[in-house]
């Protein structure tokens, strides 16, 4: 392992970066070195801009992916190489702001019902009912189920933060049935032939299969269950601060985007503010 690579890994470990972030940042450092055939510590701002243009023009990567690469390389130069001036004016590709498609309650129910295998169905149900990221759902442990407090513990979510989310009675009932039949030991959803959690790619495949069986034509992945969780809570009148805590958002601004996703008529139908004002 090169000294620079080890320095990058050490810097990320010291700052508590998640395993996924470490893999991503290391990936882009390697991609840059392959593109330039030069060690990153020998490169300058012009080389970085040339690399980002290559990602946009030739590899046709999405602006969000290019920004991910920019952030990774910015960390390398600012923190590891101690050359913040190199990336100070590095441009960020503009990311189009698109609202995600939201699954209705009926569509969520159809997707979950369409999954015939108990482990798969239980994972999809937990992802929606607790508003989990797919990595959080895959890394749930048996010990994370707190039936006395009706809460689901999410350990070391995004940003290295622990939190508790909802454990609705139907989910608890399904988890108990799943445990009686499948007897998971440590990880709630282990791989078939190893006592390690299933991968996020596998969970995504389960979702796609159930979505297609349910006849849902919206082009959404498993993360849509988390979006639906937040949107449906907001439509039910739950306040943003509570949703922020359940979702594990560091900033309320992240949670506020769901204001644009909730059905415009949901609150009005509950409050019925205009009742009797018009003949």
Those residues with Cβ within 8 angstroms of residue 246's Cβ, 6 or more apart along the chain or in another chain: 130, 131, 163, 165, 166, 229, 230, 233
Residue 152: count other Cβ atoms within 10 Å of its Cβ.
Answer: 28
User: If pLDDT is split at 50, 70 and 90, which confidence band does 16 have?
Assistant: confident
Token reading at 30: 């390697």
From the candidates 121, 139, 211, 249, which is the catalytic residue?
Answer: 249
Name the catalytic one among 139, 211, 226, 232: 226
Q: Give me the pLDDT at residue 20, please.
A: 81
Q: Could you list the residue range(s) of the whole structural domain that residue 198 is in?
A: 105-268
Both 115 and 183 in one domain: the answer is: yes
Task: Choose, from 25, 128, 178, 258, the residue flagged as catalytic.
Answer: 258
**Statement to judge: residues 75 and 138 lie in one domain:** no
**Which has more confidence, 30 or 250?**
30
Q: Cα separation of 258 and 230, whole Å? A: 7
Residues 37-48 pLDDT 10s:
999 989 999 999
Give the residue-averaged pLDDT of 6-12.
Answer: 93
Q: Is residue 14 part of a domain?
A: yes
CA distance 53 to 35: 12
Q: 138 and 29 in one domain?
A: no
138 in Cβ contact with 197 (< 8 Å): yes
pLDDT band at 159 (very low <50, low <70, confident <90, very high): low
What mean pLDDT is predicted for residues 111-139? Answer: 94
Is 203's pLDDT higher than 50? yes
Q: Within a domain: residue 135?
A: yes
What is the distance of C-alpha 9 from the center of its chain? 23
In this predicted structure, the answer to whether residue 279 has a pLDDT above a threshold of 90 is: no
Q: Between 255 and 242, name the one with better pLDDT.
A: 242
Query: What's the total number of domains in the chain?
Result: 2
Mean pLDDT of 260-275: 53
Does residue 183 or residue 20 have the better pLDDT? 183
pLDDT of residue 29: 93
pLDDT in tens, 100-110: 888 999 999 99
One domain, residues 39 and 129: no
Tokens of 260: 């644009």
| CB within 8 Å of 270: residues ≥ 6 apart | 237
Residue 19: give its domain's CATH number. Answer: 1.10.150.130
Name the pLDDT band for 266 (thresholds 50, 70, 90). low
Token pair recorded at residue 40: 């990153």
Same domain, 109 and 232: yes
Question: Which CATH number do you get for residue 177?
Answer: 1.10.443.10
Q: Establish whether 205 is a catalytic residue.
A: no
Same-domain pairing of 119 and 178:
yes
133 has catalytic annotation: yes
* From 25, 121, 128, 133, the catalytic residue: 133
Q: Verify whether residue 158 is a known catalytic residue.
A: yes
Tell me the average pLDDT of the chain: 87
H helices, E strands: number in the chain: 14, 3
Residue 217's pLDDT band (cuts 50, 70, 90): very high
Per-residue model confidence as pLDDT tens digits over 57-113: 999 988 889 999 999 999 999 999 999 888 888 888 777 777 788 899 999 999 999
The percent of residues in the chain predicted with pLDDT above 90, rounded, is 59
pLDDT above 70 for 172: yes
Question: Residue 197 pairs with which residues in a beta bridge?
Answer: 190
- Active site residue: 78, 83, 141, 158, which one? 158
Separation of alpha carbons 256 and 6, rounded Å? 39
- What does the alpha-carbon distance between residue 69 and residue 91 come to, in Å, rounded to a whole number? 12
Catalytic residue among 22, 110, 153, 223: 223
Is the Cα dihedral 23, 154, 183, 175 positive or negative?
negative
Report yes or no on 18 lying in a domain: yes
> Catalytic residue at 258?
yes
| DSSP secondary structure letter of residue 141 | B
Q: Which two tokens stand for residue 53?
A: 């243009």
Cα→Cα distances 11→14, 40, 78, 243, 275, Å:
5, 16, 11, 32, 60
Does residue 66 contact residue 56 with C-beta atoms inside 8 Å? yes
């Amino acid at each position: 392992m090169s000294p620079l690579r080890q320095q990058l890994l050490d810097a990320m470990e010291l700052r508590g970066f998640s395993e996924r972030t470490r893999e991503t940042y290391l990936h882009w450092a390697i991609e840059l070195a392959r593109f330039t055939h030069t060690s990153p510590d020998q490169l300058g701002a012009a080389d970085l801009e040339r690399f980002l243009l290559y990602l946009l023009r030739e590899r046709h990567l999405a602006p969000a992916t290019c920004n991910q690469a920019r952030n990774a390389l910015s960390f390398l130069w600012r923190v590891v190489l101690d050359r913040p001036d190199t990336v100070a004016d590095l441009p960020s590709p503009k990311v189009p702001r698109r609202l995600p498609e939201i699954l209705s309650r009926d569509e969520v129910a159809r997707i979950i019902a369409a999954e015939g295998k108990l482990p798969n169905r239980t994972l999809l149900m937990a992802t929606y009912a607790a508003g989990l990221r797919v990595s959080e759902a895959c890394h749930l442990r048996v010990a994370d189920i707190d039936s006395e407090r009706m809460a689901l513990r999410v350990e070391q979510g995004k940003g290295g933060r622990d939190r508790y989310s909802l454990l609705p009675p139907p989910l608890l009932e399904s988890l108990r049935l799943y445990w009686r039949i499948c007897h998971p030991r440590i990880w709630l959803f282990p791989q078939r032939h190893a006592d390690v959690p299933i991968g996020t790619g596998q969970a995504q495949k389960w979702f796609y299969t159930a979505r297609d069986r349910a006849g849902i034509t919206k082009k959404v992945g498993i993360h849509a269950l988390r979006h639906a969780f937040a949107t449906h809570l907001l439509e039910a009148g739950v306040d943003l601060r509570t949703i922020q805590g359940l979702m594990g958002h560091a900033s309320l601004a992240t949670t506020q985007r769901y204001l644009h996703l909730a059905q415009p008529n949901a609150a009005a139908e509950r409050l019925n503010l205009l009742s009797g004002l018009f003949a």
